[in-house]
Amino acid sequence: MKSFIIIKTGSTLPTLRQRLGDFEDWIIRALGSSNAVITVVNIMAGEALPSVDTISGVIITGSPAMVTDKAAWMQRLVIWIPQVLERNIPLLGICFGHQLLAEAMGGHADYHPKGREIGTVSIQLTPEGKQDRLLGALPDDFLAHTTHAQTVTKLPPNALRLAENSFEIHHAFRLGDSAWGMQFHPEFSADIMSAYVNEQSASLLKEGHNVDELKAAICNTNAASSLLKRFMAIVQEQA
């Protein structure tokens, strides 16, 4: 049986990790129960990427690292990602993973000119997003949790833009039939989002954010969270 791979590209805030777990834990919870064999590959710790012939699907996690750092482990992923797409294996990049997917396929990521987006925000589907087999089940306007300082500044050639808001024009895109990038975090719960805002409140205030407003806007994002189960269903359909 082929494995479903979660590529761990970093860890959340230490205090948050102790209390609520790490990126891969949140993703596995949100994926729901299935018969899939799930393997976590910690590429930052030097673990080897699997042969693409042995995998059924891939999720690349978020990270506190920046794509513009161009660390050696990131370059290993940049070489590996096109092999996944060539075989039409379902792949989902979240936040950092979304940005690295764009870089690997000819796009570009850099710091967002408006600074950091954080909190529970409203996101709108594009016309292409409404027809997409992953995002198309969402309402035209949905809530999602975000925290990012970098962004996809240029989409790869032939990418379809699927979701946007007034801050972030590239909240989701698709390449081919089976590779998606999402700048927002479908794996976050309201508790996780609250912890991010609380832990970083001092720096957010310095950046000019209204922390009280950010806290008041945090709520459950059931529609966005459903995307991970839907992604797993796509993986199993193609297996």
Q: How confident is the model at residue 1 (pLDDT cuts 50, 70, 90)?
A: confident
Q: Which amino acid is at 77?
A: L
Residues forming the active site: 95, 185, 187
Mean pLDDT of 26-33: 91
User: What CATH number was assigned to the domain covering residues 3-238?
Assistant: 3.40.50.880
Enter the tokens of residue 149.
């300082």
Q: What is the mean pLDDT of residues 134-151?
A: 98
- pTM: predicted TM-score of the whole model, two decimal places: 0.97
pLDDT at residue 32, as a whole number: 87
**For residue range 176-218, what is the model confidence (pLDDT) as tens digits?**
999 999 999 999 999 999 999 999 999 999 999 999 999 999 9
pLDDT number for residue 34: 73
Q: What is the pLDDT of residue 46?
A: 95
Between CA 122 and CA 38 the distance in angstroms is 31
pLDDT band at residue 29 under the 50/70/90 scheme:
very high
pLDDT at 239: 77
Tokens 């609250």 locate to 194
pLDDT at 206: 97
Phi then psi dihedrals of residue 28, to 5 deg: -60, -40
C-alpha span between 16 and 194 (Å, rounded): 10
Q: Other C-beta atoms within 10 Å of 34: how many?
A: 13
Q: Is the pLDDT of residue 36 over 90?
A: no
CA distance 91 to 172: 13
The pLDDT value recorded for residue 49 is: 98
Q: What is the mean pLDDT of residues 3-29?
A: 96
In the chain, where the domains are located: 3-238
Q: Which residues of 3-17 are buried (b: 16+ CB within 10 A; e: fewer)?
A: bbbbbbbbbbeeebe
Strand partners, 93: 60, 181
Could you tell me if 146 and 117 are in contact, meaning their C-beta atoms sit under 8 angstroms apart? yes
Distance of alpha carbon 149 from alpha carbon 9, whole angstroms: 16
Given a cut of 80, whether residue 13 has pLDDT beyond it is yes
Q: Could you report the per-residue pLDDT of 81-127, keeping only the tens digit for each?
A: 999 999 999 999 999 999 999 999 999 999 999 999 999 999 999 99
Distances in whole angstroms, Cα of residue 190 to Cα of each of 109, 139, 185, 220: 27, 19, 11, 5
Using 50, 70 and 90 to split pLDDT, how confident is the model at 48? very high
Average pLDDT score over the chain:
97
Cα(37)–Cα(39) distance, integer angstroms: 7
Q: 150: how many CB neighbours lie within 10 A of its CB?
A: 19
